[in-house]
Homo-oligomer: A and B are copies of this chain.
Amino acid sequence: MLENDSVSPTLAERRAEATREGVIEAAWTLSRSLGLTGWSMRELAKAVGIKAPTLYAYFDSKDAIYDAMFRQSYEQKGSSGDAEPYLAAHGERDAFKLAAHDFFDFCTDDPTRYQLMFQRTIPGFEPSEQAYAASQRSYERFAQQLAAVGVADQAHLDLWTAMISGLTAQQISNDPTGDRWRALVDTAVDLFCDHVGIPPTGDQNP
């Protein structure tokens, strides 16, 4: 690990960073075909074209690789699928439905990523402070989005989280290629909106 506090990275640092990203990308590819814990450091090294011990020049441990993947996932989640643009263009219930489907699809699009982000499935792995902070920022953005449409009560946030993530989890583990629980998302959102007092779409003057 180089130390260089100047503004522009040296060429060596840029090259090292490129290698790091290549390692992470290869780790994703292996994880999607063999499972998150289905590959060894030796296999990963071979996929990148280096020897296993060289990996330790870029990452302190296998868990550090998982950590980078974890953090990257939460940053991806932030940079796509924000529901806010919808709010101006749609009625409020439709905004909730779009937000729910955004999350649902983000999870089902990449079950391996979902497993890393939301299941505690890798023995011994716990996200570092920085990676955990990325997940916290993601939750904060989510909370602010719901606050923007009038849902600020913590209990309401928790109910939303449980309902949408519950549907998602069932879909991924019981019907990964189908739509059995996806088809229930709109119904669940309507139940939630009834509960928190969001008026039905088209009913703007209660």
Is there a chain B Cβ closer than 8 Å to A165's Cβ? yes
Instruction: Specify how many copies of this chain sit in the oligomer.
Output: 2
- Residue-wise, chain A 178-201 has the 8 Å CB interface mask toward B (1 for contact) of 001101100110011011000000
Shortest beta-carbon distance, A178 to chain B, in Å? 11
B181 touches A162 (CB 8 A): yes
A167 to B170, CA, bound (A): 13
Alpha-carbon gap, A6 to B120, bound state (A): 45
Report the interface size for chain A: residues with CB under 8 A from the other chain. Answer: 32
Chain B residue with minimal CB distance to A123?
B37
Whether A152 is near chain B, meaning CB under 8 Å from some CB there, is: no
The reply to whether B188 and A159 contact each other, CB–CB distance below 8 Å, is yes
Interface residues of A in 152-180 (CB under 8 A from B): 155, 158-159, 161-167, 169-170, 173, 180
